Amino acid sequence: MEWFEEYYGDVALKIKIKKIIADFHSKYQHIQLFDTFEFGKMLVLDGKIQLTERDEAFYHEMLVHVPMFTHRNPEKVLIIGGGDGGSLREVLKHDVSEAVLVELDGEVVELSKKHLGIDNGAFEDPRATVLIEDGIEFVKNLGERFDVIIVDGTDPNPYSEHIMSREFYEACSKIADVFATQSQSPFVQPDYFKKMFDNISSVMDVRVYINFVPTYPLGLWSYLIHSDESPSLDDIEKRFADRGIRTEHYNPEVHAASFALPEWVKRIVKDR
């Protein structure tokens, strides 16, 4: 019986594999798709778990709905990364007029369409546009504004580090009302988290929120959000009810609670 192991320093997560669906190298990265016994299909890029069917909603819903409900009326949304379609699926649950997804590696999109299917038809939605381009170049050359920008990036690698740069965040700050990004694990990957926080906070005000994703490094995951508006729980509850969105994990109470940070995370942020 085969096992997949993802290492983070001196610890690892080990998952039993039922079947290897795909295993190849694209121009940019090593792409693997497995069928597992406990977690369903599992997408792995460069040896790092990107999602499993069982808990991908924990990640995608918090990445997407926190910024989407922070905005009072999001109509135009830009997603950088997210070639598996999970973030696009969640964005399209809102009454948006346009959702643009910019993904560097078209192989991820094609594999996800053919073998994964977590987008639930989002790739074919007439409101969606999928572009296979470099995200930073797209943002730098953009001549229009978006209500919300969501960055659904991979673990840092030579091709994704540019969307962790100050230059990228500065360009984003000029074209969106609300900006959100995943920001790695502050517990297992503190250097990456600190770098992202420093780069974003140098160009815009930013808040940290956290969530639990079981198959991510030791479970704890973080996100960063910029918005000029800080809606109350009552505001979020009203927007959630008015938009009639069905979720697996996210709700207004979880939204509010995700901004309550443990002391050690507060110290990291305060010391930056």
Distance CA(180)–CA(165), nearest Å, equals 14
Distance CA(38)–CA(97), nearest Å, equals 37
pLDDT, mean over the chain = 95
Band (1; pLDDT cuts 50, 70, 90): low
Question: What is the bridge-based pairing of β-strands 76-81 and 146-152?
Answer: parallel
Band (164; pLDDT cuts 50, 70, 90): confident
Exposed, middle or buried: residue 58 (CB in 10 Å: 0-12, 13-18, 19+)? buried
Residue 155 has a pLDDT of 78
Tell me the CA end-to-end span of the chain in Å, nearest whole number. Answer: 46
Choose the weakest-confidence range: 17-26, 71-80, 158-167.
158-167
List of domains in the chain: 2-50 (2.30.140.10), 56-270 (3.40.50.150)
**Structure pTM?**
0.97
Binding residues for S-methyl-5'-thioadenosine: 29, 103, 134-135
DSSP for residue 114: I
Task: Give the pLDDT mean for 94-114.
Answer: 98
Residue 162 has a pLDDT of 76
Check whether 236 has a pLDDT greater than 90.
yes
Task: Give the pLDDT mean for 140-158.
Answer: 90
Residue 156 has a pLDDT of 73
Q: Which residues are catalytic?
A: 152
Check whether 159 has a pLDDT greater than 70.
no
pLDDT digits (tens, 9 = 90+) for 173-183: 999 999 999 99
Distance CA(96)–CA(264), nearest Å, equals 37
**Residue in this structure with the two tokens 């230059």, named with its chain if needed:** 167
Q: Give the list of residues 6+ apart from residue 138 with CB closer than 8 angstroms, or none.
A: 80, 102, 131
Band (41; pLDDT cuts 50, 70, 90): very high
